[in-house]
Amino acid sequence: MEKKKFYVTTPIYYPSAKPHLGHAYCSTLADVVARGKRLRGYEVYFLTGLDEHGEKIQENAAAKGVSPQEFVDGVAEIFLKLWKALRLSNDDFIRTTQERHVKTVQAIFHKFIEDGDVYLGSYKGWYCVHEESYWTETQVGPEHLCPDCGRPVEQKSEEAYFFNCGKYVDSLLKYYDANPKFITPVGRKTEMINNFIKPGLNDLCVTRTTFDWGVPVLEKEGHVVYVWLDALTNYISALGYGQEDHSLFDKFWGEDSEIVHIVGADITRFHTIYWPMFLEALGLRKPDRVFVHGLLMMKDGKMSKSKGNVVYVEPLIERYGVDAVRYFLTREIVFGMDGTFTPEQFVERINNDLANDFGNLLNRTLGMLGKYYGGTVSARYEEAYDALDKELLNKAKATVKEYEILNDDLKVTESYAAVMDLVSSANKYIQDKAPWALAKDETKKKELSNAMNILCSIIFLAGTLLSPVLVDKAPELFDQLGLKEEERTYEKAISLESLEGTLTHKGNLLFPRLETEKEIAFIKDLMAGPKEKAAA
Ligand code: ME8
């Protein structure tokens, strides 16, 4: 059954610090997926948000001398500002401190208690009184010392609720088997089974009593819901599950909706083991896919705040425009694999693909159209098509098919690579056809007219297929092509129909070439940590 409703989510990030390029990566790709589906007529709901509870947030707030709510409110502003700059098209922004979410978490916890899916037990572990935290046997080592402060730890136990995982393991494995694409890339599934399920899954401790920045368990004073149960619930609380108005939930969590969670490799386990179990306990359907994207690495390893090697997105957007950043993230880093960020790759990618290939195709075509036809798209004479015309048009049709199949399979990078391959073919077509030579030959009028006409249709198609990424420049491109708002549809673009008679206007360069050395130096400077800068 082809599903025409599509629900896509990002992880809800911890507002513990300012977001960096790694967070922007996941959100941008999810946005590209959402826009790509909308473009093709799907009814889409795109969710992102923040995971605002937990001990760490409480500690960060205390360190700043503000309340946890004040602290998360401040960081939320920064996230929202960045998402706006990145032009995310999310339909909602869930924050786990919102009342609607808290209500859903409490309703779920209540149902778990009623149905016997959670039980009261005791949590045992090595406890550091100073740090107020539990550690595992391996973490404290043979000397039994706190890995954080080095003080001796003690065995302690506290009352806690546990989720009965054993009840749902078999059915989870069956779901994996019946839905081979549930966890993608597939290697992640093997990892989950071998590392976590086969060795035996312990029941999951789902409440805490050592801190209070969380959703209170109404049935037991002093208990707050474990931050991961709280966080995962966002995917349905945002749709209204357990609330008065659950129409969005009925629509986008129904069997006829495709549900995709996009997550980083670090949180696969929670999304592919515990989340489906919680859903089963609630009697709800499971997501179609958990798509695990790779991590953005720097030369010295994973980009992370604690490593001090983060790149912030704002200065990149400011200098190169949002499309350059979105394009780099989509095209350079294969979705599903780890990728690196280097200034050289960034500048080269933008110059090669956007300035040289796509930008040139547009400029040369509109330039020639201006020269030969006063800017009006020339007529198409199908009877005069030659092998080159047919080849390019066939390639364009095949590209549309490939783009749709790859996009549906979340092979996002590959789908945009296919479009850029069409762009290269169109540039080669110009070289091979040499319209400047046709223009000099009175007997080649129809050939010239065809060439210019076909190129306009190809540019319209490529611009449309790239529009989920190039959110800023695609409309400008359509302006230059002279297309009216109502003409800018996916159906029209993929039909490759003749745009004869449309008056184009060659405007500003959409993607100016970057001065390689200068821009590499600029980005390197952004990446230099405070220490390196001080030493310089
Ligand atoms: O784990 N490269 O939040 P979080 C690519 N609140 N992606 C990166 C990245 C990098 N270097 N660094 C972070 C949490 N990410 C939980 C999630 S969901 C119910 C709760 C992205 O702020 C990546 O998608 O630590 C990763 O999974 C996510 O940020 C983790 O964000």
* Nearest protein Cα to ligand 1, atom 18: 11
* Nearest protein Cα to ligand 1, atom 9: 22
Residue intervals of the chain classified under CATH 1.10.730.10 are: 340-495
Radius of gyration of the chain (CA): 27
Establish whether residue 146 lines the binding site of ligand 1, counting it when its CB lies within 6 angstroms of any ligand atom.
Answer: no
Question: Phi then psi for 141, rounded to 5 degrees?
Answer: 70, 180
Long-range contacts of 303-306 (CB under 8 A, 24+ apart): 303/20, 303/21, 303/22, 303/341, 304/22, 305/17, 305/20
pLDDT under 70 in the chain at which residues?
1, 132, 305-306, 529-536
The span from the CA of 249 to the CA of 240, in Å, is 6
Q: Please enumerate in sequence order all residues whose Cβ is within 8 A of that of 349, keeping only pairs 6 or more positions apart, or say none.
A: 327, 328, 331, 332
What's the token pair of residue 159? 């009352």
496, 457 contact by CB (below 8 A)? yes
Establish whether residue 269 lines the binding site of ligand 1, counting it when its CB lies within 6 angstroms of any ligand atom.
Answer: no
The b-or-e profile of 285-315 (16+ CB within 10 A means b, else e) is: ebbbbbbbbbbbbbeeebbbeeeebbbebbe
Q: Tell which atom from ligand 1 comes closest to the C-alpha of 235.
A: 19
Establish whether residue 26 lines the binding site of ligand 1, counting it when its CB lies within 6 angstroms of any ligand atom.
Answer: yes
Across the beta sheet with 257-264, the strand order is 92-95, 43-50, 5-13, 257-264, 289-293, 183-184
The span from the CA of 156 to the CA of 45, in Å, is 45
pLDDT for 132:
67
Establish whether residue 296 lines the binding site of ligand 1, counting it when its CB lies within 6 angstroms of any ligand atom.
Answer: yes
Per-residue pLDDT reduced to its tens digit, 340-361:
889 999 999 999 999 999 999 9
Q: Which amino acid is at 502?
A: T
Establish whether residue 338 lines the binding site of ligand 1, counting it when its CB lies within 6 angstroms of any ligand atom.
Answer: no
- CATH superfamily, with its number, for domain 5-293: HUPs (3.40.50.620)
Question: Phi then psi for 72, rounded to 5 degrees?
Answer: -70, -30
Site to substitute for ligand 1 among 9, 10, 25, most atoms within 8 A of C-beta: 25
Which of 97, 3, 10 lies closest to 43, judged by CA? 3
pTM of the model: 0.94
pLDDT for 315:
96
pLDDT for 133:
72
Which three-class secondary structure state does DSSP give residue 210?
coil
pLDDT for 535:
47
* Nearest protein Cα to ligand 1, atom 26: 264
Site to substitute for ligand 1 among 12, 13, 333, 527, most atoms within 8 A of C-beta: 13
Site to substitute for ligand 1 among 8, 21, 26, most atoms within 8 A of C-beta: 26
Torsion, Cα of 300, 414, 256, 261 (10° steps): 0
The span from the CA of 250 to the CA of 256, in Å, is 10
Residue intervals of the chain classified under CATH 3.40.50.620 are: 5-293
Establish whether residue 263 lines the binding site of ligand 1, counting it when its CB lies within 6 angstroms of any ligand atom.
Answer: yes
Q: How far is CA 237 from CA 87, 124, 246, 267, 514, in A?
A: 24, 31, 9, 20, 45
Q: Tell which atom from ligand 1 comes closest to the C-alpha of 264.
A: 27
The span from the CA of 155 to the CA of 151, in Å, is 13
Establish whether residue 335 lines the binding site of ligand 1, counting it when its CB lies within 6 angstroms of any ligand atom.
Answer: no
* CB atoms closer than 10 angstroms to residue 443: 7
Establish whether residue 287 lines the binding site of ligand 1, counting it when its CB lies within 6 angstroms of any ligand atom.
Answer: no
Site to substitute for ligand 1 among 266, 298, 299, 303, most atoms within 8 A of C-beta: 266
Sort strands 5-13 and 257-264 into parallel, antiparallel or unpaired. Answer: parallel
The span from the CA of 426 to the CA of 392, in Å, is 7
Residue whose structure tokens are 């002279």: 482
Q: Provide CATH code, domain 340-495.
A: 1.10.730.10
Residue whose structure tokens are 């499309």: 323
Q: Tell which atom from ligand 1 comes closest to the C-alpha of 234.
A: 19
Measure 111 CA to ligand 1 centroid, in angstroms: 29
* Nearest protein Cα to ligand 1, atom 31: 13
Per-residue pLDDT reduced to its tens digit, 368-416:
999 999 999 999 999 999 999 999 999 999 999 999 999 999 999 999 9
30, 10 contact by CB (below 8 A)? yes
Q: How many helices (H) and strands (E) does the chain have?
A: 24, 15
Measure 282 CA to ligand 1 centroid, in angstroms: 26
The span from the CA of 28 to the CA of 508, in Å, is 26
Establish whether residue 303 lines the binding site of ligand 1, counting it when its CB lies within 6 angstroms of any ligand atom.
Answer: yes
pLDDT for 6:
98
